[in-house]
Amino acid sequence: MVARRVAVIGVASGYGAGDPACQDGSEVVRALRFLSDLEAVDDGLHWDEPVRAAQPVPADPIEAVQGVAARLADSVGRHLAQGDFPLVIGGDHSCAIGTWSGVKRALGAPARLGLIWIDAHMDSHTVATSQTRHIHGMPLASLLGHGDPRLTGVAGDGPKLLPEDVCLIGVRSFESDEAALLRQLGVRVYFMHEIRRRGLSEVFAEALHLVSEHTRGYGISIDLDVLDPAEGPGVGTPVPGGLLRADMTDALALAHGDEKLLAVEIVEYNPYLDEHFVTARAIHDLCQSLIP
Ligand SMILES: [Mn+2]
């Protein structure tokens, strides 16, 4: 296959999180050059302008997130049109609404998009069910067509994903309403207990088949809080009992070079909560195992 140039798109937005500090995550990774060895190779990755909210930033977080998502969807679409491979670095996880709505729009109406959502949480609340009203707890529901129309309507109306083309990996913290939505829709969830029993690579191989089978292509969205807090402390909502970095890089390598892999997203890096940049180095390792 022809190697695709990797375009890194930072998202300077924490409007969907309780703690907005992850808005600085991508800039820390860029400025401290944590991906420099991947930048140095021929046709290696290169950083695009970061996506930010328009000024003045709307007071309503839904409108702020909507604006960022629309801009991100445009940036992702532009890079796909140029033949680039988009690598989105958040920012809080609400940016997923922009990333995957942009990929879906680029594919065109009849084409189905698959998505592997790797996360300690389900992110499948709607405004109606969320206790916190933090939008980073809603992006997957939104992409499936549920929730506030300002979010479900980013880069085109209607669901961006069909439930049978989506799966979640690493879930261990969720509320009953979002679990009920995913169960009702029939979305496959690989909880941590299943991953511990079967091993991450076996589960991930199955997930790749699930998201590829009926789709034009698929994406991978990685919330860093899926990592065990010992190996990924730099996140806003850590949950004990997570994935190990070495297991993740082994599993992600199964998708390396897959032409159906359309884009990757790594989110929720909070540099102020990181310890000795161990989480920034995890971002590097995850990128290294996936980058075409
Ligand atoms: Mn998440």
Of 24, 84, 92, 121, the catalytic one is: 121
Give residue 129 CA to ligand 1 midpoint distance, Å. Answer: 16
- Residues 76, 8 contacting (CB under 8 angstroms): no
Within 8 A by CB and 6+ apart from 56, the residues are: none
Domains of the chain: 6-290 (3.40.800.10)
pTM of the model: 0.97
The yes-or-no answer on residue 123 being catalytic is yes
Q: What is the pLDDT along the chain (292 residues), one digit of tens a residue?
A: 456 899 999 999 999 999 999 999 999 999 999 999 999 887 789 999 999 999 999 999 999 999 999 999 999 999 999 999 999 999 999 999 999 999 999 999 899 999 999 999 999 999 999 989 999 999 999 999 999 999 999 999 999 999 999 999 999 999 999 999 999 999 999 999 999 999 999 999 999 999 999 999 999 999 999 999 999 999 999 999 999 999 999 999 999 999 999 999 999 999 999 999 999 999 999 999 987 6
Give residue 137 CA to ligand 1 midpoint distance, Å. Answer: 6
Structure tokens at 112: 């189905």
Q: Is 83 left (phi over 0), alpha (psi -120 to 50) or beta?
A: left
Query: What does the DSSP 8-state code read for residue 255?
Result: G
Q: According to the 3-state scheme, what is the secondary structure of 122-180?
A: CCCCCCCCCCCCCHHHCHHHHHCCCCCHHHHCCCCCCCCCCHHHEEEEEECCCCHHHHH
Of 24, 84, 92, 119, the catalytic one is: 119
Question: What is the spatial distance between Cα 133 and Cα 61, in angstroms, rounded to a whole number?
Answer: 9
